[in-house]
């Protein structure tokens, strides 16, 4: 099949492309900057050989740049969205409007299916990132195209924030640390997503193979760095007030803080899937930070 991957230069997108290629699919990638493909990706996600894919340069916030991107495509998979950086845009601009522009192109080109990477339990909080994603999912469900919506828990890549904090020997968590989640590796999530993109329609909640409390993840991160197992629990309310104040100067950062705080207070457990181990990932990541090499 001919598959378009949007967000191919990102953490998940790179695993998606490599999983599709290994499965024998023809892949087109929608990227803003093709030169990024050949370098290592965020959190040691894999490189992409530009000769193995059809490269289309475009920007989701510029609909004219997307013209023709879905021509000849059977299935679209969008892992495109704002995460760590805003690039001067809001979640509404990219996660909602940007993906809507891509959906309109997909409808015009008559693709068979549109697959979108959402967030697990997104409806439980009102952070801007979630509002934008929920709004796009509503558009997708109302569109003329069959759809797949994947709602993953947190990625291993995101938990490197906890690991980085643990390196200092201090660990702070918001709330009592008892909320549970099963984080997932990009490679496992890509396998799950590709399977459903090719064979199903509907909405699927997914996480990694093991369920942890936030306390357990924090203790694991401290152990990996050989630090004393000491976790301090902070009340959520003052941090939410700080995020509320911050939104007037740094709205993107403020919104992410709100999202992470609220996530730490709520269970987020999807279907247990995959076999990549969090402890192994933490050790690899910590060693690579010291040596500069990924083994």
Residues binding ligand NAP (CB under 6 A): 7-13, 32-33, 36, 42, 59-61, 79-83, 94, 98, 117, 119, 152, 154-155, 157-158
CB of 252 to ligand NAP, least distance (A): 12
CB of 228 to ligand NAP, least distance (A): 27
- Residue number closest to ligand NAP, CB atom: 10
Nearer to ligand NAP, 245 or 262 (CB): 262
16 or 224: CB nearest ligand NAP: 16
Instruction: Between 36 and 253, name the residue whose CB sits nearer to ligand NAP.
Output: 36
If the CB atoms of residues 24 and 39 are measured against ligand NAP, the closer one turns out to be 39
In the complex, least distance from residue 157 CB atom to ligand NAP, rounded to whole angstroms:
6
Residue 222 CB, nearest approach to ligand NAP (Å): 21
25 or 83: CB nearest ligand NAP: 83
CB of residue 226 vs ligand NAP: minimum separation in angstroms? 26
| Cβ-based nearer residue to ligand NAP, 229 or 271 | 271
The residues near 248 (Cβ < 8 Å, ≥ 6 apart) are none
- Of the pair 227, 260, the CB lying nearest ligand NAP is at 260
Question: In the complex, what is the shortest distance from the CB of residue 270 to ligand NAP, in angstroms, rounded to a whole number?
Answer: 10
Find residue 116's DSSP bridge partners.
Answer: 78, 149
Q: Mind spelling out the 3-state secondary structure of the chain?
A: CEEEEECCCCHHHHHHHHHHHHCCCEEEEEECCHHHHHCCCHHHCCCCCHHHCEEEECCCCCHHHHCCCCCCCCEEEECCCCCCCCCCCCHHHHHHHHHHHHHHHHHHHCCCEEEEECCCCHHHCCCHHHHHHHHHHHHHHHCCCCEEEEEECCECCCCHHHHHHHCCCCEEEECCCCCEECCECHHHHHHHHHHHHHHCCEEEEEECCCCEEHHHHHHHHHHHCCCCCCEEEECHHHHHHHHHHHCCCCHHHHHHHHHHHHHHCCCECCEECCCCCHHHHHHHHHHHHHHCCCC
Minimum distance of ligand NAP from residue 230's CB (angstroms): 25
């Amino acid at each position: 099949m001919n598959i378009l991957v949007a967000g191919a230069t990102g953490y998940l997108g790179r695993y998606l492309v490599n999983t599709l290629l290994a499965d024998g699919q023809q892949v087109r990638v929608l990227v803003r900057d093709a030169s990024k493909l050949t370098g290592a990706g965020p959190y040691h996600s894999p490189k992409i050989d530009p000769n193995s894919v059809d490269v289309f340069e475009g920007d989701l916030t510029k609909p004219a740049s997307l013209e023709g991107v879905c021509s000849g495509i059977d299935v679209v998979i969008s892992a495109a969205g704002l995460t760590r950086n805003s690039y001067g845009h809001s979640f509404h601009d990219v996660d909602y409007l940007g993906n809507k522009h891509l959906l309109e192109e997909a409808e015009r080109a008559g693709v068979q299916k549109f697959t979108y990477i959402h967030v697990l339990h997104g409806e439980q909080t009102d952070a801007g990132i979630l509002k934008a994603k929920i709004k796009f999912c509503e558009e997708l469900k109302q569109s003329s195209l069959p759809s797949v919506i994947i709602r993953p828990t947190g990625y291993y890549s995101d938990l490197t924030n906890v690991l980085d904090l643990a390196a200092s020997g201090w660990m702070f968590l918001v709330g009592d640390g008892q909320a549970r989640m099963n984080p997932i590796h990009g490679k496992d999530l890509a396998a799950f997503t590709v399977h459903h993109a090719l064979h199903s329609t509907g909405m699927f909640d997914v996480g990694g193979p093991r369920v942890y409390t936030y306390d357990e993840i924090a203790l694991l991160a401290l152990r990996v760095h050989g630090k004393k197992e000491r976790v301090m629990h902070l009340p959520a309310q003052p941090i939410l007030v700080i995020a509320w104040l911050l939104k007037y100067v740094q709205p993107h950062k403020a919104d992410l803080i709100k999202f992470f705080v609220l996530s730490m207070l709520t269970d987020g457990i999807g279907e247990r899937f995959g076999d990549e181990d969090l402890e192994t990932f933490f050790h690899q990541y910590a060693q690579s930070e010291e040596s500069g090499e990924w083994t």
